[in-house]
Every structure is written in structure tokens, then in C-alpha cells.
Chains A and B, each alone.
Chain A
Amino acid sequence: MTPEEASRPLWQDEFSVHSADERYVTRRQFTKFLVLTSLAMFVGQVWILVKSWFARQPEALPHQVVARKGEIEVGEVKLFTYPTAQDHCIMVRTAPDVYVAYSQKCTHLSCAVYYSKESNRLLCPCHNGFFSVDDGSVLAGPPPRSLPKVLIAVRGDELVATGIREA
């Protein structure tokens, strides 16, 4: 130990970093953190761009028989899954010859929607979101988008799901 160091008070050894220097370094580190956050935002944007690019490619969905004609009465519903077993859908017979089907997942927070025969609307009970049964558009409540529509084709005696049209 040099004589200069020996003559120095003990507290200067304990707190050897000058407070102004300490603050200076911290601000520089924080600046670096801000730049890295900016990079993360940019990467997020690129990710959305890539996702939207791939979403434009037409995706061939399977054709699937979901019900038979006359299986459900007017004003009744049938639940099915399409295109995978995890994608729950709801089909409503609104008139003798009219069948409409939508994804059952609410566009707000993914609760299951059901058909209210009294009001002739699709209802999400979680936050009182209402959708039109005719086109799946939002009538009231917090959902930001319409329900994805399942395209139904009548082939002979069968009702066939042929694809999904997003909102």
C-alpha cells in the first residue's frame, strides 16, 4: 500500500466510485438499453411484415362434411370443428334454405360465442359482445373485428365446409 493510499480515509475505499461517475455510467447503459428496445420494436415490425407476406399466399383448406341438410331446424345450431379439431365453429340455420357458419372464437378475448334465438344474434357472454348472424359483423360490445366466416356449400344432401373467409 502506498503512503497516499494509507493516508486516505477508510470510507473512500468503501465507496471508491464518485457518485457523478456512477450516474454517468448508468445513463450510458440506459441509452444502450433504449437502443436495444428500439431494435426489438424494429424486429417486431419485420416479423409482422413476414407474417402478412405469408398470409397472402392462398391456403387450401380441406372440404369437410359438417352436417346433413335438414339435420337442424330453423333457428337451431350445430357445433363442429373446422379446419382442425382445435378450431371450433358454430353453424346456424337462419331460414329453411340458409345455413351460416362462423368461428366460435370471439375476436375480443377468444371466448366461445353462442346463438341467441331470442335476439337472432351471436352473443359472446364474457363481455357482452354481439355479432350479426347474417354476416358475422360486430353489432355491439368490445370485439374489434367480425367473426371469421366458414364457407358452407350445399352438395346434394350434405353441407360441406369449403374454406374460411377472414373478417
Chain B
Amino acid sequence: MLRFVRMPQYVLTGALALLFLFPLLWASYASVSPQPGTAQTKGFGFANYETLANYQAGIGQYLLNSTLVSAMTVLFTLGVATFGGYAFAMFKFPGRNVLFLVTLAILMVPYATLLIPLYVLLNQLGLQNSLFGLALVLTMFQLPFAVFMMRISFEAIPKDLKESAEVDGCGSFRALTHILMPAVKPGLITVGLFAFLAAWNDFITPLVLISDSEKLPLPLAVANMRQQVMGIVDYGATEAGVVVLALPCIVLFLALQRHYVRGFMSGALKG
């Protein structure tokens, strides 16, 4: 009986869900379907992906660039934010509040405002046009969210666990790595996932900081590709590019969904 009453609701909400899924489903379908003006004109196949693979330095190079930048950003962000969150949550030291507020203030400053001086600064540091320099800048942009998240994660650890870590007599570093890190795993996963997504997808930072076309990350390479085929846009290759860009993000997002929702919730409970 109840089921019957709820039927229209299922249909409506199902249609809404489909509306959200439609663009992605369409892009995946369109990237392999025949279309005039693309590499794939007859029948279904992967010719658009071949176009993509052979574009300039080759998709392999761009994928490698994106992977390197993302891996470095995730690594730096996790390292810096774990220590930082631990410091802010567990220790009292002079300048603690100021440093925390200045870290959060990064959120208030537009990317563009920082990218112009960073372009000059990285030149002076000899990091212009380098994936390493790009990863350092992307890490800085991640810090407000990451440090905040790790701080509330460490603060949410039950008191007796903290005390047992202190009573154990092991140093604060061992306490961190052996006892406290496992307790903040949802926070670490959330921070890592968001750092990856941000680094993999960032557009304006490499647009400003990277000028060497061999070193472009994938989103920029795909965006550039649109404009270069004699002024005619190859939509098939663009769709294929979107699929390649989106796939790792969606897979990670779905695989880790339970963890980061928990990460968010633990933050919410703290108010």
C-alpha cells in the first residue's frame, strides 16, 4: 500500500537523478559514437581517443604531468596538514592563533591576486615552468581546508585515547604516528581526496604558471586542443578528453564516498 502511494515520488526523484547523470552519460556515449567532423565518422569506436592520444606531446605526457602534480600536491598537503593540525589541536605555543588565522585567510584571497606575484616569485626561485613549483602553489591553496580539517579531526579524538598516548611515555612523534594517525583516518582520506581533485582539475594556476606546452597538465591540454585543429573544433576529441579527465575523479569519489562523508560529519559534530 505504502509502495503505491510513493510511486510518483520514485518516478520524479528518479527523473531528477537522471537529469544529473545525463551530461556524463551523454559525454561517454558521444565520445565513442559516430559523428561528422570528428575522427569517428562511421560506427562506434575509439578513434576520438586516438586523436587525443596523438595530440602534440601525446596524451601520455599530459597524463603523466597531471599525475605527478597531483601526487606531489597530495603528499605535501597531507604532510603539512597532519603536522599542522596536530600542532594546532594538541599544543599551545606563542603565535598559534595568529598562524591559524593567517592560514585560514588564504581562503579570502582570490587565486588571481596571488598568482600574479607567484608568477614573479617562482621565476626568482628558479621554479618557473616547473611541475614541482606548481605542486607547491597548489598545496598552499589546499592548506586552509586541510589544516582546518586535520585540526578538528585531532580535536575530535576521544580524551582517553589522547591521554593513553601521553601516559605511554612515547614521544609526541611516536604518539602521532602510532596512536593518533589511525584515529584521524577519515580526515586524512578527506584531505587527500580533495587535494587530489583540486590538483588534478585546477585550471587557472597552471594557465598562469606553466608556459611550456610539454609540461601542461591534462585539463589545459584538452582545452587548448579545441582551438587548434585549423579553427574547427573537434568535439569528439573534446568529449574523449572529458571522459579521460573525469574517470579517475569519479572512481575515487565513489570509492571513498563513505569515508569523506564521515570526515565531514565529524567536523559537523564539533559545530
Indicate, yes or no, whether A interacts with B: no
